[in-house]
Amino acid sequence: MAGWGWGWARAVRGLLLDVSGVLYDSGADGGAPIAGSAEAVRRIKASGLKLQLCTNETQATRADFVRKLRAMGFDVSVAEVTAPAPAACRLLQERGLRPHLLVHHDLVPEFAEIDKTNPNCVVLGDAAEHFTYANLNEAFRLLIGMEKPVLISLGKGRYYKETDGLKLDVGAYMKALEYACDIEAEVVGKPAKSFFESALAELGVPAEQAVMIGDDIVSDVGGAQQCGMRALQVRTGKYRKVGTVSLIF
């Protein structure tokens, strides 16, 4: 394998794994695991490699997300999940921000400890069916009425794959609000550098000894590279081009 430049692989001590499109395809029916992925997680753990799930999932609390994954046969715990909502809560508390939430109803409990009265920012997640015109317009009116509008977006993905096809992700709605208000959102979650740094800290492995595995060339691969990590793009999930598994480093 030396000719392929895989020598670095011997130094790898930990993996960051994207979840949707890598371990399973989400869906209104609860989603379905991707063939072989639960077994792969077991083998990774058995091999002694450290493992952390690094997800932009914002349709459920981490506890509910882990419950769903475990029911599908994945041996994972809440501590092994790095997700945008807890990162957003830390940022809100550090800066004294009180959010108006435009997120999926099932994510709201993650913000239970956060003061949401008299909002001075908007937090945007993958609200899916809750992205009605009325809800998006409410967030727009709040932002346009602020002296300095603050929009925090839990990711900037374009779309993701569910069991019944591709779905618009939070990034599309972030762009709509950015354009309407002539502002730039702050992204919490992949591909933000600080988010990968948190995931690496939770993994307990430095960037040069970790590999990110995902299906999104921007959020997963690009974000990991910005952090000095190597990254693998899988051909499952939203991957659409013809080719083999891409190794990008």
Residues that bind a second copy (CB under 8 A): 127-134, 136-137, 140-141, 144, 158-159, 165-169, 171-173, 175-182
When the beta carbons of 90 and 141 are compared against a second copy, the nearer one is 141
CA–CA dist 228, 180 (Å, integer): 35
Cβ closer to a second copy: 40 or 218? 218
- Measured from the CB atom, the residue of 4 and 179 that comes closer to a second copy is 179
Tokens of 139: 């967030």
The amino acid occupying position 69 is L
| Contact criterion met (CB below 8 Å) for 87 and 188 | yes
Nearer to a second copy, 41 or 181 (CB): 181
- Compute the least distance from the CB of residue 128 to a second copy, in Å: 6
CB of 144 to a second copy, least distance (A): 6
- Considering beta carbons, is residue 14 or 149 the nearer one to a second copy? 149
Closer residue to a second copy in complex, CB, 78/168: 168
Task: Check: CB of residue 199 under 8 Å from CB of residue 189.
Answer: no
> Minimum distance between the CB of residue 68 and a second copy, rounded to whole angstroms?
21
Query: Minimum distance between the CB of residue 141 and a second copy, rounded to whole angstroms?
Result: 6
- Distance (Å, rounded) from C-alpha 174 to C-alpha 187? 9
To a second copy, the closest distance from the beta carbon of 167 in angstroms equals 6
* Run of H or E including 224: helix 223-226
- Please tell me the distance from the alpha carbon of residue 75 to that of residue 17, in angstroms, as a whole number: 13
Give the DSSP per-residue string, 56-125.
Answer: ---SS-HHHHHHHHHHTT----GGGEE-HHHHHHHHHHHHT--EEEES-GGGGGGGTTS--SS-SEEEE-
Minimal distance, residue 69 CB to a second copy, in Å: 24
Contact 172, 166 (CB under 8 A): no
